């Protein structure tokens, strides 16, 4: 007999559901799932069990199941604002934004004082380009809850994207007042100062941060990005883990608001390469994150391996059930030390945390089989960054000169084609990027001279 079965026999149905919710809050998802299953076997139309089992399904990346369960719960209890707000969250994560807007609006119609629904509505309105309406929604959330940190943060990001940087800075200051050690708000405020040309103010923020938390990886890295001094050859493991563990749960929705295009650009590059999606290749998702690219490359894979430094991101990738193996490791070390080789290696928006690319490209070339393909994205060093191999930008990621990248690929026997494209929007401006397809020769001899790289500029509109 399973523990959940004996517990449900000892508890009332309401007690069992409450206990399952507690397990769910404590991230004990398997145990919570078993408890909900036992309750629903006894009472198939129990509204709370249906609803929170649906929320759990969403947390585990099973949105179709989540929608079915949550909609069943709302058919039984159609006047619950919280539940409509949760339905909106699932629709939003499934990129069904019109349905998400409708769900949040229904939550607000039931309870006009539902601050979270107003905030969530603002997020989706911004994602659909309705900036005026999004601002009104965020301000409504703040009016209803003057300590709504997410609403202040989201409003600041919206205003910054509209180039209302000084107003954005006021929002970030409010967040820091409410929560003095809020990492994201500190970083955003410093970035706002950089945008306004107030470098001394940004340096002051990072300096005070380091005084309070000596050695903090985010403050140390961002101070180097802001000043150009003591720039590391790549972002430290601690910076990457702290950054991505901190927003793994909201990673995909945040990228959606930034018109993030790296996965679709990777997909287009693979289609252009002529590889058939016939589940015949051994594929590595290098820096897999939450698995955004995994869904794109899975049809090509006989075996799909994901590697990432962030435990939080890997947990979300695992819930997608598309990887045969997931590894927590630093990328260069994994490529260099792992005996497995691959037909295809994809790395979307990962090498932007490397400045010096020599080590990681050498390791990648070694991990590719003869005739193997390496597809990856970088941010393009343009303007003031041109003429250098790489630069740590104020936002904390590295940009790279195209000539530098082509030189390294040539050095390690990889023939490349480079496409210039917009990767995302940031602070209201497009981020210029490089999408690179690098092929290993059939002989597989790294370091052999090859033909010059091809360069194509595409219309990113």
Q: Write down all domains in the chain, each with its CATH number in brackets.
A: 147-230 (1.25.40.10), 250-440 (3.40.50.150)
- Calculate mean pLDDT across residues 90-94: 89
Residue at token pair 């037909």: 343
**Cα 91 to Cα 68: distance, rounded to the nearest angstrom:** 12
- In angstroms, what CA-CA distances link 182 with 7, 179, 185, 448? 40, 6, 6, 50
- In angstroms, what CA-CA distances link 446 with 171, 271, 364, 436? 52, 25, 11, 18
Instruction: Say what the pLDDT of residue 115 is.
Output: 98
**Cα 3 to Cα 8: distance, rounded to the nearest angstrom:** 9
Stretch among 42-46, 161-165, 341-345, 446-450 having the lowest mean pLDDT: 446-450
Stretch among 133-147, 265-279, 327-341, 367-381 having the lowest mean pLDDT: 265-279
State yes or no: pLDDT of 8 exceeds 80.
no
Average pLDDT of the residues of the chain: 89
State yes or no: pLDDT of 436 exceeds 70.
yes
**Cα 152 to Cα 178: distance, rounded to the nearest angstrom:** 10
- Calculate mean pLDDT across residues 380-388: 72
For the stretch 108-127, pLDDT in tens is 999 999 999 999 999 999 98
- Calculate mean pLDDT across residues 316-323: 90
pLDDT band at 94 (very low <50, low <70, confident <90, very high): confident
Check residues 7 and 460 and name the one with the higher pLDDT.
7
Please report, rounded to a whole number, the percentage of residues in the chain having pLDDT higher than 90: 71
Stretch among 22-26, 150-154, 155-159, 251-255 having the lowest mean pLDDT: 251-255
In this prediction the pTM is 0.74
- Calculate mean pLDDT across residues 166-190: 93
Stretch among 72-76, 92-96, 128-132, 157-161 having the lowest mean pLDDT: 92-96
- Calculate mean pLDDT across residues 285-313: 94
Check residues 355 and 247 and name the one with the higher pLDDT.
355
- Calculate mean pLDDT across residues 27-45: 93
- Calculate mean pLDDT across residues 283-294: 94
- Calculate mean pLDDT across residues 388-399: 93
Neighbours of 207 (CB within 10 A): 12
State yes or no: pLDDT of 105 exceeds 80.
yes
pLDDT band at 457 (very low <50, low <70, confident <90, very high): very low
Instruction: Say what the pLDDT of residue 447 is.
Output: 41
Nearest to 305 by CA among 278, 328, 337, 274: 328
Instruction: Say what the pLDDT of residue 459 is.
Output: 31
- Calculate mean pLDDT across residues 19-31: 92
- Calculate mean pLDDT across residues 312-337: 94
Neighbours of 11 (CB within 10 A): 17
For the stretch 180-210, pLDDT in tens is 989 889 989 998 998 888 989 999 999 999 9
Instruction: Say what the pLDDT of residue 245 is.
Output: 85
| Residue 139 buriedness (CB in 10 A; 0-12 / 13-18 / 19+) | middle
Angle in degrees, 0-180, between the axes of helices 217-227 and 237-246, rounded to the nearest 10: 110
pLDDT band at 455 (very low <50, low <70, confident <90, very high): very low
Nearest to 258 by CA among 376, 377, 430: 430
b/e string for 95-128 if b means 16 or more Cβ within 10 A?
Answer: ebbebbbbbbebbbebeeebbbbbbbbbbbbbbe
């Amino acid at each position: 007999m399973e523990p959940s079965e004996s517990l449900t026999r000892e508890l009332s149905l309401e007690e069992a559901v409450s206990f399952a919710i507690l397990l769910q809050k404590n991230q004990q998802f398997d145990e919570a799932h078993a408890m909900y299953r036992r309750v629903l076997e006894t009472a198939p139309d129990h509204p709370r069990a249906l609803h929170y089992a649906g929320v759990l399904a969403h947390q585990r990346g099973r949105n179709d199941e989540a929608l079915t369960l949550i909609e069943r719960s709302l058919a039984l209890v159609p006047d619950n604002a919280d539940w409509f707000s949760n339905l909106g969250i699932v629709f939003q994560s499934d990129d069904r934004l019109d349905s998400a807007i409708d769900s949040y609006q229904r939550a607000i119609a039931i309870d006009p004082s539902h601050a979270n629904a107003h905030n969530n509505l603002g997020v989706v309105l911004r994602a659909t380009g309705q900036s005026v309406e999004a601002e009104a929604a965020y301000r409504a959330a703040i009016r209803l809850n003057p300590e709504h940190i997410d609403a202040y943060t989201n409003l600041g990001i919206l205003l910054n994207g509209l180039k209302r940087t000084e107003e954005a800075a006021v929002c970030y200051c409010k967040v820091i007042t409410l929560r003095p050690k809020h990492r994201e708000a500190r970083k955003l405020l410093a970035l706002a100062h950089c945008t306004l040309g107030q470098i001394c103010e940004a340096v002051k923020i990072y300096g005070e941060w380091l005084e309070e938390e000596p050695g903090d990886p985010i403050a140390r890295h961002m101070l180097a990005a802001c000043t150009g001094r003591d720039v590391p050859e790549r972002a430290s493991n601690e910076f990457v883990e702290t950054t991505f563990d901190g927003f793994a749960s909201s990673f995909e929705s945040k990228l959606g608001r930034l018109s993030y295009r790296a996965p679709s650009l990777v997909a287009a590059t693979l289609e252009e390469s002529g590889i058939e999606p016939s589940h015949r290749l051994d594929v590595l998702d290098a820096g897999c994150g939450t698995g955004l690219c995994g869904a794109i490359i899975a049809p090509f894979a006989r075996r799909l391996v994901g590697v990432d430094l962030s435990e939080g991101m890997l947990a979300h990738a695992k819930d997608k059930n598309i990887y045969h193996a997931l590894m927590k490791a630093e990328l260069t070390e994994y490529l260099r030390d792992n005996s497995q080789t691959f037909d295809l290696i994809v790395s979307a928006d990962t090498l932007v945390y490397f400045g010096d690319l020599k080590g990681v490209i050498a390791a990648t070339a070694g991990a590719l089989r003869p005739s193997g393909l390496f597809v990856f994205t970088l941010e393009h060093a343009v303007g003031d960054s041109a003429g250098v191999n790489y630069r740590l930008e104020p936002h904390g990621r590295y940009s790279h000169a195209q000539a530098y990248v082509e030189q390294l690929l040539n050095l390690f026997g990889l023939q490349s084609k480079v496409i210039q494209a917009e990767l995302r929007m940031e602070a209201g401006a497009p981020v210029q990027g490089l999408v690179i397809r690098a092929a290993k020769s059939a002989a597989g001899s790294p370091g052999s001279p090859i033909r010059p790289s091809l360069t194509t500029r595409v219309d990113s509109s």
